[in-house]
Amino acid sequence: MSISANLGFPRVGKNRELKKALEAYWAGRADLASLQETARQLRAEHWNLQKDLGIAHIPSNDFSFYDQVLDTTCMVGAVPSRFQFSGAKVDPDTYFAMARGSAKAAAMEMTKWFDTNYHYIVPEFEDDQQFSLASSKAVDEFTEAQKLGILTRPVLLGPVSYLLLGKMKTPDAQPLEMLDRLLPVYVEVIKQLETAGAEWIQIDEPVLVLDLDAAVAGAFAKAYESLAGARRGLKLCLATYFGDLGDNLDWAMKLPFDAIHLDVVRGRDQWGQAVPLLRQNALLSLGVVNGRNIWRTDLDGVLATIDETVAAIGPERIMLAPSCSLLHSPVDVECEEKLDPAIRERLAFARQKLQEIALLTQASNEGRDAIGSALEASRAVFARQRESSQVHDQAVRERLATLSDTMFSRKSPFAQRRTAQQAELDLPLLPTTTIGSFPQTPEIRKTRAGFRKGSISDAEYTRAMQREIETVIRFQENIGLDVLVHGEPERNDMVEYFGQLLEGFAFTRNGWVQSYGSRCVKPPIIYGDVYRPKPMTVSWSTYTQSLTAKHVKGMLTGPITILQWSFVREDQPRRDTAYQIALSIRGEVHDLEAAGIGVIQIDEPALREGLPLRQAQRPDYLEWAVKAFRLATCGVEDKTQIHTHMCYSDFNEIIEAIAGLDADVISIEASRSDIELLDAFVDYEYPNEIGPGVYDIHSPRVPSIEEMVQLLRQMIDVLTAEQLWVNPDCGLKTRQWPEVEASLQNMVAAARQLRDEVAQQQHKRQQGRNRS
């Protein structure tokens, strides 16, 4: 009989209970016991839900207060020395300090989890890094479920993936050299789980879908031989996801596992390649339901794959599961009572995806007739979608077909534009600015909520937002920022806000997914062709500009970020959807420029995130992604300055594409990486202007003036002062006003000090030239 399984369940709760509990604890409004009780209730609710849906292999240790990679760092005791950890077990204060920083220590670096919008805390390894078991979380949560009468399959991030996801402090050192020191901790945890009564364990090795060399293959062989020796009867499911194994498949299939999970949503054909390599009695777990999107599964199409696999190896050697953890999905579509029924019927969130797994397992075991009514309902939904005028707009498609080459290029090269912009904007050396958003206070959220509910009129709402904007403008003027922003009080989210003003988007009330820690996002749903019915930001920008003589940035979100941070339709190429969005943004850029806005920022923090995991697939993506940005931005005059912003990324991988965007100014998150991220720009000799973040906005810590001065000195050592802008790492939406005020005041003071230093150096050089 085929077995139903799940790889992981959303942690935050369908009403974001975990987010609220975490933020109450961090703010001192709740104690640790209250936070832990909320977590216990969520775990119990989610385990019981999966049990009731008929899932046989239910995961545990998929829950996290912040991030599963950080949990692994705690499990193996790899706490960086600056956190002064010396105990036998990592305590909550140390755990959250590692994630968020503290008054005594800066937070660990954070970056994107493969090609998703989830973020993980990057492990840091010293050259002499030692490992020891410092967290019992995996065993504790297994026994917690056991007491509820639920036998779970504990989940661990695999040792090879864990090391490869980390960073060595010495640049040339290799993380895999530490494998022999790390494996004893995994062996100990596995033995404890087996003693506690676990029958299966799931070890996630997502790096198996990357381009790997022979050294990594050897590390896998060593690691899994060691883990096999630690197990007496405990069975191991090796889980891979986010793509196919490609040329790693042959050697991966030789590893000692009892089941291997393959993503057959993104790696559609790899099951057929794996079947002949599957060892006798080993099980094949098919990831047949998309864990990363919210659309219903084509049951007929999936059953064809299942039938072929059953014919090859028999139903008793098959597990059926989502393609990856459901961490990337909202919890339950039944909460979306107000969503258009024509759209809602096409959706499946975590709960519905597990229902689909249960149905597919039933069909595998009992035949298709056993789920005949579900199959008929599925066919009807897909038929309605194909014929829907709500989905397909002929005018949008005709506009896409008439794009010309000139729409993808600025009128002049950067050097010529720079001269025009200097004359137009008259900015000082090392100009200061922020990334866009300012703190979203309870009053702002209350006003927006009242407006949504209809208790506040349009006029009252506009006046309230204008008051907030004026407050932000006066603050920026008072501290001496050079290029101002309106603070975005009217925006709930940088993607959802624009989606609400574009056609082709739908929105949920409770479609929350975790981005990191307590940060949750509610991605829009792109269900049909996209276009802009009217201007979206012009009135806010022109009002803001009327308040000040300084330049105010128009703030937009770029087409690739809107694409990447939405749940995207699957019935047309992602490129086509990106171009539809780009044309909408292009119209907005044109209207902002016509209204007198001379600096326009189009954020693309998700450009790197969309990069395919395999090198061979990247050129095609980067070509159309860069073209989408240029399509959105290249219709302006030379004197109009185009900015963009990007989040933590390995910029080395995409530096040519970043240059290809041809933005006049790029701001990047850099402070958590000790400005290592600048290396890519230096090595490439990036010609345009750049604003590396000088302080980490993800931490409540206020950096000193001297700290930022030192960082700016490092930047000037590798880039020219004429290239540099001074700004925070990211938007300030999630921060509190006191820390924002103090941090930005220090940032402006640091920039002024550096201006003086540079001016003095230039004066001395000029004097030397005069004497010679």
> Would you name the residues annotated as active-site residues?
698
In 604-708, DSSP assigns E strands to: 641-646, 665-668, 689-692
Q: Which residue type is seen at 449?
A: A
Tell me the CB-side half-sphere exposure of residue 374, using CA atoms within 13 A: 21
HEC per residue, 707-757? HHHHHHHHHHHHCCCCCECEECCCCCCCCCHHHHHHHHHHHHHHHHHHHHH
Q: Are 182 and 160 within 8 A, CB to CB?
A: no
Q: Rounded to an integer, what distance in angstroms lies between the CA atom of residue 294 and that of residue 566?
A: 10
Query: Three-state DSSP class for 106?
Result: coil
Tokens of 124: 């840091």
Of 297, 350, 285, 355, the closest CA to residue 2 belongs to 285
Q: Which residue type is seen at 50?
A: Q
Pairing of strands 58-60, 3-4: unpaired
Q: Which residue type is seen at 604?
A: E
155: enclosing H helix or E strand: strand 152-157
Q: Rounded to an integer, what distance in angstroms lies between the CA atom of residue 755 and that of residue 762?
A: 10
Which single residue is written with the structure tokens 């390894």? Answer: 125
Pairing of strands 3-4, 318-322: parallel
DSSP state of 22: H
HEC per residue, 639-707? CCEEEEEECCCCHHHHHHHHHHHCCCEEEECCHHHCCHHHHHHHHHCCCCEEEEECCCCCCCCCCCHHH
Q: Rounded to an integer, what distance in angstroms lies between the CA atom of residue 420 and that of residue 597?
A: 15
Tokens of 94: 């140390």
Q: Rounded to an integer, what distance in angstroms lies between the CA atom of residue 472 and that of residue 465?
A: 11
182: enclosing H helix or E strand: helix 179-196
DSSP state of 297: P
Torsion 272-276-279-280 (CA) sign: positive
DSSP states of 543-579: HHHHT-SSEEEEEEE-HHHHHHTSEE-SSS-HHHHHH
Using alpha carbons only, what angle is made at residue 626 by residues 623 and 630, rounded to the nearest 5 degrees? 130
CA distances from 525 to 37, 190, 294, 506, 602 (A): 33, 41, 8, 5, 21
Tell me the CB-side half-sphere exposure of residue 624, using CA atoms within 13 A: 17
> In residues, how long is the chain?
772
Q: Which residue type is seen at 70?
A: L
Query: What is the radius of gyration, based on Cα positions, of the chain?
Result: 27
First-to-last alpha carbon distance for the chain, in angstroms, is: 89
Query: Three-state DSSP class for 226?
Result: helix
| Partners of 568 in the β-ladder | 526
Q: Are 693 and 729 within 8 A, CB to CB?
A: yes
The residues, any chain, with a CB within 8 Å of residue 103's CB and separated by 6 or more, are: 701
**613-647 residues labelled b (16+ CB within 10 A) or e (exposed):** beeeebeebbebbbbbbbbbbbbbebebbbbbbbb
Q: Rounded to an integer, what distance in angstroms lies between the CA atom of residue 544 and that of residue 553?
A: 9
Q: Rounded to an integer, what distance in angstroms lies between the CA atom of residue 662 and that of residue 150?
A: 55
Of 494, 632, 499, the closest CA to residue 568 belongs to 499
